[in-house]
Amino acid sequence: MSNSTHVTRRASALGPGLAVLFVALALVAFLSVTQGSRSIGLLEVLHALGSLNSDVSTDSTVTLELRVPRTLLGIVVGAALGVAGAILQGVTRNPLADAGIMGINSGAAVFVVFAVTVLGVRGAGVYVWFAFAGAIAALVLVYAIASLGREGATPVKLALAGAAVTAGLASVTAGIVMTNVDALNELRFWQVGSLAGRYAPILTGVAPFLLLGLVASLGFGRVLNGLALGEDVARGLGQHVTRTRAAAFAVVAVLAGAATAACGPIVFVGLVVPHAARFICGPDYRWILPYSMLLAPIVLLLADVLGRVVAAPDELQVGVVLGVLGAPAFVGIVRYGRLSEV
């Protein structure tokens, strides 16, 4: 059987899977809008969605101003984290690569602490931009350190540089918050990882960056397939490895930086979802990226809904729920999946 025939058959099998995931995402999004710590009937939700701003009832306000922005933010942030994790694992050839070990979370935390302690900033709507800048700065620092030397930014050097920068920035953050109560309170609110309290201004602020990064990420499937074969093979296929890594890191900086800035460091999505996508569709990044883009928001929204329902009338933040559920899921992937095939 020719290679083109194999590719065609694979596309015919995996293509409908994307359609199924898209429908599943739509259903989960509807569930996110209709379910929560406050009991709102389905008819009331549909009425609020149909009336838009003409209805000023409490149910309508909760639906339109809280749940809808929260759901939309969950979709774009989940997609961004899933794709960013897949790209990081591909470009570093490290199955454990995600935003956490590449310095993104620590960089964002340092800038949040700086904004609180030095500039007196308060509120997620303001320091989201400092977190974004810190995440990008940290990832640039990691890449710059890894690029030193004759070999350039190799996978091993990227992992070591990420671990070193993460440890250093985390120590700086801990040193500051230990002596500043305001910084501790603000950082504690941000670090839990949550979709709650992220209203429309935050969504509209980060959405352009996330959408731009998601569109750009879809062009990396072929080059990540080349890198997966090794640097020498990738160069033999005509790739400029250093330029490819730099472009990939730029996209990851936008995706993971904006997502982390908006919702805090949400764990396990960028780590586990790419492995789940790889388990479904194999090692081809042309499929891993779109599958991760749809699987990740489904996982994130389901965890968010679960946190709202099980603790009603209070709620568990999505970062807590994912921490509890993500660990055994990752153990399962390690046990039954193909962790080394990145």
pLDDT in tens, 166-203: 999 989 888 888 887 877 777 777 778 888 877 788 88
Give me 254's structure tokens. 């936008």
> Burial level of 10, CB count in 10 A (0-12/13-18/19+)?
middle
Query: At which residue do the structure tokens 């690569």 appear?
Result: 97
Give me 123's structure tokens. 């509120």
Q: Which residues contact 210 (CB under 8 A, 6 or more apart)?
A: 76, 77, 79, 80, 254, 255, 258, 259
- The residue with greater pLDDT, 270 or 326, is 270
Residue 215's CB is within 10 A of a number of other CB atoms, namely: 10
Is-contact 60 51, C-beta < 8 A?
A: yes
Work out the mean pLDDT of the chain and round it to a whole number: 82
Residue 211's CB is within 10 A of a number of other CB atoms, namely: 14
Is-contact 101 162, C-beta < 8 A?
A: yes
pLDDT at 26 over 60: yes
Query: At which residue do the structure tokens 């809808």 appear?
Result: 68
CA-closest candidate to residue 18, choices 257, 286, 331: 286
pLDDT at 137 over 70: yes
Amino acid letter, 136: I
Rg (the chain; Cα; Å)? 20
Domain ranges of the chain: 3-34+80-336, 39-65
- CATH, domain 3-34+80-336, list 3.40.50.300, 3.40.50.150, 1.10.3470.10, 1.10.10.10: 1.10.3470.10
Per DSSP, the three-state class of 264 is coil
Q: How many residues does the chain have?
A: 342
How far apart CA 304 and CA 310 sit, in angstroms, is 10
Tens digit of each residue's pLDDT (9 = 90 or more) over 209-247: 999 999 999 999 889 988 887 777 777 777 777 788 889
Tens digit of each residue's pLDDT (9 = 90 or more) over 280-311: 888 899 999 999 999 999 999 999 999 988 87
Average pLDDT on 25-38 reads 86
How far apart CA 310 and CA 314 sit, in angstroms, is 9
Is-contact 320 196, C-beta < 8 A?
A: no
